[in-house]
Every structure is written in structure tokens, then in C-alpha cells.
């Protein structure tokens, strides 16, 4: 990957920081941050604790519905767009409100409670806020970090529970935030020449992106921070870094999420014979061939009786990009596969089925 493309990929982090900074600067004075545990690791790809403190964050707490932190300053909650989690947040805020004097008049101009929702505030949140009697006391904000760079040339939206929402509960609400993130991707990396979609939800996302791009000067494009939007608009007309984009539904491609190097080598071990990094490819004695039914084997014999010799392949990351980046050390009697990352001193244990 060239330096130009690498620099653009790092730009997604800067855009996310600009969005988060815009929210924090809109809240005056110092504040404490209460973050849902599931969002801590993804947030580390956006900013660190020192960056948060420079933006006015004093203390950082993990959100625990049963153990609220002490109320010292303004509180900023950072949670997923889950109604039950939001209800737990409102219960804590109601507890803080009950501790204050009932004679104290609420100043709606200086709200003490702020809820940052990832990726967007649902309409049910507003209704629940009114039912709990906290409307005008709690301020709601949308925040979407778009693509997080997990590794070299690997980007992820890191949207929790998106599979359960879209494919199990048939809730298409997250699709709009995905479309907005893909639009920002096109602004940064350039519009690809060809866009493929596979699946009903993928087609909806592509259509949303097309509508957003056709109305990018309207209010639908105002969610992107102005300064970053001006920079990325200039890149939109240039040659794209990627010529084609494929958007597909997860239910059309379940195995792809399992294609890590460890699983890849584990599947090879299930079919062929692997010994010290050397793979023995034998079309007549592999486990799939042995497991065939008798009548299937007879059909194969009628097609041809020529026997192919076994081939030995040395697994090498320089020739196999899926295998790239890992060194596998296996034992015939062991169920533990040790994976060595690029740093030779770091080893991690992964369990796979042995021979």
C-alpha cells in the first residue's frame, strides 16, 4: 500500500476526532465521561485518555447500571443505541436528581447530563425521555466514528449488535448510519468506478449512498464536520484509490468472517496432512475422499482410473496471502496451535482440533 493511500486511511481517525471534539466543545466546563464497556476498545482506535483530558474530560468511568459513579461535575454518557441501556442511564440520572433539592429550579440552559449515542439517537429515546420526566434535563447527541483502521488496509465500522438487529430482528435502522459512513469513505478515498451489491440490505445501502451524494449540499450532508467535509470534497473528484466496491449481506457470505490465518490453517489440517508447515495434498487419501459414500466412490472410478501422485507444498506467507503473517507450530498430539505475530517475542495460544 502506497503512502498516499495509507495517509487517507489515517484520515478516518481525524474525522472521528473532529466529530467527538465538536460534541465536547459544545458542553462547557469540565465533565466526567461514563462509557459503556463494549465501546472502550473501539474508542481507543479513535483517541486516547490524554486526548480526552485535553478536551475537558476529567474522570473516565465504566458504565455500571448498579454502581453509578459519584456526581461531581457534568456527566457525559457514551452508550450504544440500545433502549434498555438508555433506560438504565435514565434511571441513574433520576437517582442523581432525587439527591438534589426539589426546591432547586432546573436551569435548562446549563444541562448537567449529556448522552452520546452510538451510532444515532432513536425516536424511542425521545419518547422514553419524556416518559421519565427528564426532557429538558438530559441532552442527546449522535456520534458515529465511521471506519476504524484495525490493521493495515483493514477497516471496520465496529457497530455492536448490527447482525442481530438487521438479520435476526429485521430492524433496518442501522442501515442509514452505514450508508453515511460509506459516503464518507467515498469522499476520502474517491468514488469507485464500479459498485456491486449482493442482498436486499446491501442494495438499500447503495441506494441511500446515491441519494446522499446527489444531495450532498443539502441538510443530509450537514452531519459531517464542516472543515473535514471541505477537505474531502476536493478528493471526491480525483481518481479513486479503489476501482470497485462490493457491498454484500452477511447472510450471503457466512464463511468470510471465519477466514483468519488460524482458521484457514485449521481447515487445511482437517482435510489434508500438515506436518511442520509442509502440506501434503493427496486427492485419493484426503479426509473428504475417505468420508465419501460407497456409491459416490464407484462413480469416481467409472470416470477415470488414473491415480495422481501426492504433492507436498511448503506453506509460505510470501506465496499465500491468506497464510501471510503467521507461523504455525503444531504437534500431532496437541490441540493447541501457537500463532506468532510479526513480533517474534509475542506468542498467542489458539485452540484448534489436532490431528
- pLDDT at residue number 156: 85
338 in a domain, yes or no?
Answer: no
Q: Distance of CA 345 to CAs 270, 276, 315, 342, 349, Å?
A: 29, 20, 21, 9, 13
- pLDDT at residue number 346: 35
Let me know whether 120 and 167 are in one domain.
Answer: no
Let me know whether 65 and 129 are in one domain.
Answer: yes
Let me know whether 21 and 95 are in one domain.
Answer: yes
Report the pLDDT averaged over residues 73-100: 91
246 in a domain, yes or no?
Answer: yes
- pLDDT at residue number 352: 35
- Residue 247 is part of which domain span? 161-219+239-251
Interval 89-146: pLDDT, tens? 999 999 988 877 544 445 555 688 999 999 989 889 999 999 998 888 899 999 999 8
Let me know whether 65 and 185 are in one domain.
Answer: no
122 in a domain, yes or no?
Answer: yes
Report the pLDDT averaged over residues 21-46: 91
Res 326 pLDDT > 90: no
Q: Which of 149-153, 259-263, 287-291, 318-322 reaches the highest mean pLDDT?
A: 149-153
Select the more confidently predicted residue: 262 or 106. Answer: 262
Q: Distance of CA 8 to CAs 183, 186, 194, 209, 222, Å?
A: 15, 11, 20, 20, 21
309 in a domain, yes or no?
Answer: no
Q: What is the pTM of this model?
A: 0.66
Q: What domain count does the chain have?
A: 2
Interval 271-303: pLDDT, tens? 666 665 566 776 666 555 555 444 445 554 445
β-strand pairing of 336-340 with 327-329: antiparallel
Res 325 pLDDT > 50: no
Res 313 pLDDT > 80: no
CATH value at residue 39: 3.40.50.2060
Where among 124, 149, 174 does a domain terminate? 149
Report the pLDDT averaged over residues 59-76: 91
Let me know whether 179 and 215 are in one domain.
Answer: yes
80 in a domain, yes or no?
Answer: yes
Let me know whether 179 and 70 are in one domain.
Answer: no
59 in a domain, yes or no?
Answer: yes
Interval 38-54: pLDDT, tens? 899 889 889 999 999 99
81 in a domain, yes or no?
Answer: yes
Amino acid at each position: 500500500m502506497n503512502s498516499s493511500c495509507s495517509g487517507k486511511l489515517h484520515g478516518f481517525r481525524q474525522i472521528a476526532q473532529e466529530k467527538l471534539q465538536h460534541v465536547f466543545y459544545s458542553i462547557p466546563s469540565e465533565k466526567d465521561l461514563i462509557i459503556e464497556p463494549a465501546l472502550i476498545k473501539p474508542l481507543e482506535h479513535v483517541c486516547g485518555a490524554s486526548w480526552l483530558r485535553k478536551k475537558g474530560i476529567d474522570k473516565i468511568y465504566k458504565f455500571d447500571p448498579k454502581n453509578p459513579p459519584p456526581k461531581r461535575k457534568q456527566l457525559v454518557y457514551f452508550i450504544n443505541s440500545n433502549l434498555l441501556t438508555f433506560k438504565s442511564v435514565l434511571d441513574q440520572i433520576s437517582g442523581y436528581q432525587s439527591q438534589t433539592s426539589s426546591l432547586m429550579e432546573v436551569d435548562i440552559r446549563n444541562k448537567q447530563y449529556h448522552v452520546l449515542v452510538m451510532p444515532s439517537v432513536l425516536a424511542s429515546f425521545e419518547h422514553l425521555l419524556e416518559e421519565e420526566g427528564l426532557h429538558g434535563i438530559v441532552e442527546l447527541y449522535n456520534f458515529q466514528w465511521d471506519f476504524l483502521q484495525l490493521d493495515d488496509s483493514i477497516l471496520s465500522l465496529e457497530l455492536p449488535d448490527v447482525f442481530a438487529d438487521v438479520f435476526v430482528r429485521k430492524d433496518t435502522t442501522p442501515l442509514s448510519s452505514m450508508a453515511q459512513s460509506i459516503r464518507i469513505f467515498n469522499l476520502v478515498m474517491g468514488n469507485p468506478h464500479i459498485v456491486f451489491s449482493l442482498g436486499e440490505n446491501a442494495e438499500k445501502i447503495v441506494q441511500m449512498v446515491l441519494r446522499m451524494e446527489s444531495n450532498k449540499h443539502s441538510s443530509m450532508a450537514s452531519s459531517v464536520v464542516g472543515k473535514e467535509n471541505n477537505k474531502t470534497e476536493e478528493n471526491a473528484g480525483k481518481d479513486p484509490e479503489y476501482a470497485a466496491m462490493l457491498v454484500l449481506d452477511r447472510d450471503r457470505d457466512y464463511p468470510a468472517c471465519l477466514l483468519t490465518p488460524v482458521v484457514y490453517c485449521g481447515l487445511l489440517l482437517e482435510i489434508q496432512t500438515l506436518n511442520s508447515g509442509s502440506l501434503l495434498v493427496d486427492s485419493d487419501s484426503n479426509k473428504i475422499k475417505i468420508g465419501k459414500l460407497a456409491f459416490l466412490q464407484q462413480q469416481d472410478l467409472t470416470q477415470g482410473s488414473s491415480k495422481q501422485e501426492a504433492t507436498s507444498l511448503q506453506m509460505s506467507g510470501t506465496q499465500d496471502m491468506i497464510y501471510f503473517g503467521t507461523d504455525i507450530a503444531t504437534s500431532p498430539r496437541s490441540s493447541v496451535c501457537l500463532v506468532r505475530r510479526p513480533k517474534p517475542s509475542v506468542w498467542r495460544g489458539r485452540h484448534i482440533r489436532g490431528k
